[in-house]
A and B are shown apart, each in its own frame.
Chain A
Amino acid sequence: MRYLTDRKRATGLGSAKTGTAHFWAMKVSSAALLVLVPLFVCTLGRVIGESHQDVIAHFARPGPALIVALTLIVGLEHFKSGAQVLIEDYVHGTAQKIWIIAVICMSYALMATGLFAIAKMAL
């Protein structure tokens, strides 16, 4: 028999009060991605498999560069939050914290790498 009451055991385990912000951020980014994803597929599909010079010339134009940059920013922000929920559902305790930190760091690292590559070709 434990000496904790139901009330004491539940204290601190409830909502962290950030669920609504998370939900809204996913909703905004998903609405943006509905526009960005078709543009991204079109602009990337046009040059994937082409020669190096064609790829550089393509991303030197503002349209393709901006579409890919925006899709990487919004997409990886969306991935970061979505993958966090996946981890929260299946991994618990210290491992959960480590995985969430790792996924968030990786998302920003990929975002920065993609933006660096686009900037170098565009400028």
Chain B
Amino acid sequence: MADVNRGNRPLSPHLSIYRPQLTSITSILTRITGNALLLGTILVIWWLLAAATSPAYFDMVNGFVTSWFGKLILLGSIWALWYHSLAGLRHLIWDNAIGLDVPTAEKLGWGVIIGSLLLSVITVVVL
């Protein structure tokens, strides 16, 4: 019958078994940065709404955005935005079955990490 050994089969090794690798870390960071960008998005939309509403409301929201906490969210969002963009570019490359071998995938991973940090520094310095 069908269910003789259900629930008692060997499982493939998962997170608790594997040593963290550059490819797995950069992959989960893509998901984390993409979803965490919601925070920065809410902040920017709140700021836009305040600017469209009244000078008094704008001063209040702008005060929060330019406070140390607001700046921390913006700084984190800038890095997350660049990281997620470069990681997305990497996925668009991978979709063509290019760069999937381990040495190239690891090089692309370092490219995403270093590139996102460089772009964040440039963004903060220039803007």
Q: Which residues of A contact B (CB under 8 A)?
A: 1-2, 4-6, 9, 27, 30-31, 33-34, 37, 41-42, 44-46, 48-49, 52, 55-56, 59, 68, 72, 75-76, 79, 82-83, 86, 110, 113-114, 116-118, 120-121
Which of B17-25, B34-42, B99-107 faces chain A? Answer: B34-42
Which one of A4, A41, A42, A79 contacts B38 once the chains associate, using CB atoms below 8 Å?
A: A79
With both chains docked as a complex, state the minimum distance between the C-beta of B68 and any C-beta of chain A, in angstroms.
Answer: 13
Q: Which residues of B contact A (CB under 8 A)?
A: 1-4, 6, 31, 34-35, 37-38, 41-42, 44-45, 47-49, 51-52, 55, 58-59, 62, 65-66, 74, 78, 81, 85, 88-89, 91-92, 95, 123, 126-127
With both chains docked as a complex, state the minimum distance between the C-beta of A13 and any C-beta of chain B, in angstroms.
Answer: 14
With both chains docked as a complex, state the minimum distance between the C-beta of A42 and any C-beta of chain B, in angstroms.
Answer: 7
Residues of A within 8 A of B35 (CB): 79, 82-83, 86
Contact B92 A37 (CB under 8 A): no
Q: How far is the CA of A44 from the CA of B126 in the complex (A)?
A: 12
With both chains docked as a complex, state the minimum distance between the C-beta of B64 and any C-beta of chain A, in angstroms.
Answer: 12
Which of A45, A59, A116, A117 counts the most B-chain CB atoms under 10 A from its CB? A117
Residues of B within 8 A of A42 (CB): 127
Contact A30 B62 (CB under 8 A): no
| Sample of 9 further A-B pairs with CB below 8 A, known A52-B59, A118-B48 | A1-B3, A2-B2, A4-B2, A30-B88, A45-B123, A52-B51, A76-B41, A117-B48, A117-B49
Residues of B within 8 A of A31 (CB): 92
Contact A48 B37 (CB under 8 A): no
Contact A113 B45 (CB under 8 A): yes
* A55 with B127, Cβ < 8 A, contacts A30-B88, A33-B85, A121-B52 known: no
Residues of B within 8 A of A48 (CB): 47, 65-66, 74, 127
* A55 with B41, Cβ < 8 A, contacts A48-B47, A48-B65, A117-B48 known: no
Residues of B within 8 A of A86 (CB): 31, 35
Contact A9 B2 (CB under 8 A): yes
Q: How far is the CA of A1 from the CA of B7 in the complex (A)?
A: 12
Q: How far is the CA of A46 from the CA of B74 in the complex (A)?
A: 14
Which one of A6, A76, A83, A116 contacts B2 once the chains associate, using CB atoms below 8 Å?
A: A6
